[in-house]
Amino acid sequence: MRIDILSLFPQMFDGPLHASMIGNAIENKVIDVGVTNFRDYTTDKHNHVDDYPYGGGAGMLLQPQPIFDALADVQEKHPAKGRVILLDPAGVQFNQSVAEDFAKEDHLTFICGHYEGYDERIRSLVTDEVSLGDYVLTGGELGAMVMIDATVRLIPGVLGNAESAPGDSFSSGLLEYPQYTRPADFRGLKVPDILLSGDHGKIDDWRLQQALKRTYERRPDMLADLKLSGQARQLLADIQADAEDL
């Protein structure tokens, strides 16, 4: 996968893109990442990339010309068809499903905004408008880092254990079940006996039950539209009945 980032502050990506999982993915050539400062493409003699909005109003807007030209240059150098993502509070909210969708692409380009917003014509360039959440950041860089991290870890060959991503919270539609490692007894806090039994069928049942219980207690909204197996529906019914008896 090729990932391009258009930003006024490319230095913000120096650490996150060269450490941990993403750094390893780049080193192993699983992904290729480029950061472009779209200020380099401005034709303004003062290198301005923003201006006052027509009709008045607070703040400054990013002008279309530098972003249009920067994106055209990126796409000429890396013509693989892909998605162009505008980081914007008005976009759809990023979640695991969006990350899984992005992970299937050959090329992702993130446009990171700053100032009050974008000239509306910039939106004509993009395939997706995405928001990290219902709050406002100073720019799109931190949001892009989060989205890239969540996406890249889903690409085959990035995680050390291929089974890790499908078992994560949200990938299955449920929060993750409790997990334990050695020692089996730490200061009187013991690992559940079922996990020491070696009976993988019973362990799987326990993990499903615990994932349902944790989701019901902490994020019941996630269960509203989730398609559950017959076994899961019965386990959830038992969990709900137990909660009502308390």
Annotated binding site for S-adenosyl-L-methionine: 113, 132-137
Candidates 89, 128, 141, 207; catalytic one: 89
Q: Looking at the chain, list the stretches that DSSP marks H as alpha helix, in order from N- to C-terminal side.
A: 20-27, 64-77, 96-102, 141-152, 200-218, 230-245
Contacts of 40 (CB under 8 A, 6+ apart): 70
- What token pair was written down for 167? 């078992």
The active-site residue, picked from 116, 129, 176, 205, is: 116
Which distant-in-sequence residues (6+ apart) come within 8 Å of 193 by Cβ? none
| Ordered DSSP codes for 136-191 | --SBSHHHHHHHHHHHHTTSTTSSSSTTTTTTSTTTSSSPPPP---S-SEETTEE-
| Residue numbers belonging to the annotated binding site | 113, 132-137
Annotated active-site residue in 69, 100, 168, 205: 168
Residue 83 in tokens: 């998605």
Task: Please work out, in degrees rounded to the nearest 5, the angle formed at the alpha carbon of residue 214 by the alpha carbons of 199 and 221.
Answer: 135
Active site residue 204: no
Of the candidates 78, 94, 102, the one whose C-alpha atom is nearest the C-alpha of residue 2 is: 78
Catalytic (active site) residue 32: no
Residue 119 known to be catalytic: no
Report residue 146 CA to chain centroid gap.
5
Please identify which of the residues 4, 105, 128, 153 carries the catalytic annotation: 153
Q: SS3 of 35, please?
A: strand
Phi, psi of 215 (to 5 degrees): -65, -40
Annotated active-site residue 116? The verdict is yes
Active site residues per annotation: 89, 116, 153, 168
